[in-house]
Structure 1
């Protein structure tokens, strides 16, 4: 039974509570919905590059992501969520702006996430459900890579035409999805 949500932001180095993104807003909305729910949100170590060798142990050891956790990962956080689930069990994952290659960006090359093939079947086996949000007009990610993630993981894919990289201060569709998943438990 999922009783916690762990929000894993994208890389970039901004303060996750004050950068105008939906992370803090989502935390607040989930706690308003269920005050007994644990919602974890912290600045990630190595926030600019987002190295797998640092983020995965931080998720496991500091954030204590486990079998009762729902990971909400955005951008690099989505990539980290998939790689985490290749090794560890979680209750569910929500991928926002997920992708499969370094997109030709130096920081992404240095992250280590893209140095080996994706283990879609292991990730699927280690979670009860996977949802995904993607937008055709994402300014950083190709639509084909977002679809590749959906096909590889057989996600419940919420497709948009006009949301870019999901960097708005509000994300009501995500709240609706999470409330629906939490009510199932």
Structure 2
């Protein structure tokens, strides 16, 4: 299984391995026998959908054995991918939103140009796990709760889990709960 880390905006994709918890995640997931891409992303300050979606689909060759791990703006990309036609193994949504929160840079990212198709987000993956922290100072927990309630109502066969944590803020540091949920779905180690 291959994991692809999609960072948040603001330059996190310039040196993705050194930003936030992405390097830690890479080490944790590869120690379990999986492969993991933590690429530097084009357009890391705005994270435009018109640039990021072709990058993950074509340059990184997103496929059916991949898990997309999206944080903040990266979670928005993961959500748009779940609406599409390409099948993936799973998605981890960390600190996602459904509105641009009145932020011009978020609005410019193009993820909010079309209505969300929450009803489709359980069609193209085996499982989806979403995390939000009650004390997130950048994306209010109400945003995450709304996304969770809409995805839960959707059709499709993907197993869906929403985990609301406390004390994680905007998830700028490693979070063991993310690994625990992934381990539940992957058995902890890649099959030999």
TM-score by length of 2: 0.89
Whether contact under 8 Å (1:134, 1:159) holds in the other structure is yes
Q: Which string of whole-angstrom CA distances, capped at 9 and with x for unpartnered residues, describes residues 53-83 of structure 1?
A: 0001101011221111111100000000010
Q: Does 1:177 align with 2:175?
A: no
CA shift at 1:6, angstroms?
A: 0.9
Please provide the CA RMSD for this pair.
Answer: 1.4
SS of the counterpart of 1:178?
A: helix
- Name the structure 2 match of 1:102: 100
Alignment of 1:1-185 (within 5 A): 3-14=1-12, 15-19=15-19, 21-34=20-33, 37-87=34-84, 88-154=86-152, 155-168=160-173, 170-183=174-187
CA shift at 1:22, angstroms?
A: 0.8
CA shift at 1:43, angstroms?
A: 1.2
CA shift at 1:175, angstroms?
A: 1.5
SS of the counterpart of 1:5?
A: strand
Aligned equivalents of 1:162, 1:179: Cα separation in 2:
22
Aligned equivalents of 1:172, 1:143: Cα separation in 2:
20
Aligned equivalents of 1:33, 1:67: Cα separation in 2:
19
Aligned equivalents of 1:55, 1:120: Cα separation in 2:
20
CA shift at 1:161, angstroms?
A: 2.1
SS of the counterpart of 1:129?
A: strand
Q: Which string of whole-angstrom CA distances, capped at 9 and with x for unpartnered residues, describes residues 105-149 of structure 1?
A: 111110110011101122211111111110111111122111111
Whether contact under 8 Å (1:130, 1:153) holds in the other structure is no
Structure 1 segments (4+ residues) deviating >3 Å: none
Whether contact under 8 Å (1:11, 1:75) holds in the other structure is yes
TM-score by length of 1: 0.92
